[in-house]
Structure 1
């Protein structure tokens, strides 16, 4: 199962108004993550991955407050399954690995966990908590682990209420450059 480029865009337009435990909508979060990455001078792949990493949140019907009910929707796996045939490996893997990157950073970066939002701390525990050393070593062998860690940093930043950003249309040419060629 996958989504075409047009279906991905339509999904953001249709469901982007949802919240997921933060003070921003899914679309605002995606646009903020991409805007922060772009402002930092990141390569286009990081910007595109930052925009799409949470796509799986838009594609489940479990509600906006599932973490408050002790449920992990595994949105990273949902997003990966839908993006992997449409977008390049790096983009799809960033979606798949950004949750693992949070768990990894909690192990490797002293103080990282303390800087997480309340919603991210709640979901961290549902997602397996801080990685073990063995898990971290396996994660470091993932081909796109460094990309996922970079995207994770922007994920943590993209939670600013009422932050102005470019609209989704401004990023569409960039996103389309990462569509797999048939």
Structure 2
């Protein structure tokens, strides 16, 4: 299936699912993508930010799976799926957005205190704070800075009622980034 149609189908199927933060999956994705665009990100980083949680839309697990103590590893699932259609400049920041949360909670004073209850729960399921060895390994990842920036937009895109452009607005970025 054409990746643009597959992305639309994924949002049609599960975009209205709860995100656990007062917005649904689609609203969260659109808000995050808008933040990246607003801040002048590259088209690839806008697409990565828009689609960073696509792994949640691809699995068939319930919305409240984290409440059951299960980490879906959505970042790995999403990155693997995206790598079939996009280059690493899209798939790698997606893979790294969860480790970026762990990294920021470890190294940035006050970051952990800003996390919502849902984000703290998922942080625990995703491995918690990083060890010094994990911090150093993360900093060696080629796209770690993009993963951190994506994470910051991820944290910002959770505002109920925030009106941002719809999915069609981002199609030009997606088309520009699809691996040819």
For the structure 1 residues 138 and 82, does the alpha-carbon distance in structure 2 shift closer, same or farther, using more than 3 Å as the test?
same
Mapping for residues 103-182 of structure 1, pairs under 5 Å: 103-181=102-180
Deviations 1:94-129 (A, max 9, x none): 111100000001111111011011111100000000
Q: TM (normalized to structure 2)? A: 0.96
Distance 2:43 2:3 in 1: 20
Aligned-residue CA RMSD (Å): 1.3
For the structure 1 residues 4 and 39, does the alpha-carbon distance in structure 2 shift closer, same or farther, using more than 3 Å as the test?
closer
Tell me, yes or no, if the aligned pair for 2:43 and 2:176 is still in contact at 8 Å. Answer: no
Matched, 1:4 2:3: yes
Deviations 1:60-84 (A, max 9, x none): 1111011111110111111012111
Matched, 1:90 2:89: yes
Runs of at least 5 residues in structure 2 that lack an aligned partner in the other structure:
none
The equivalent of 1:81 in structure 2 is: 80
CA-CA distance at 1:9 after TM superposition:
2.1
The equivalent of 2:101 in structure 1 is: 102
Tell me, yes or no, if the aligned pair for 1:55 and 1:95 is still in contact at 8 Å. Answer: no
SS of residue matched to 1:177: helix
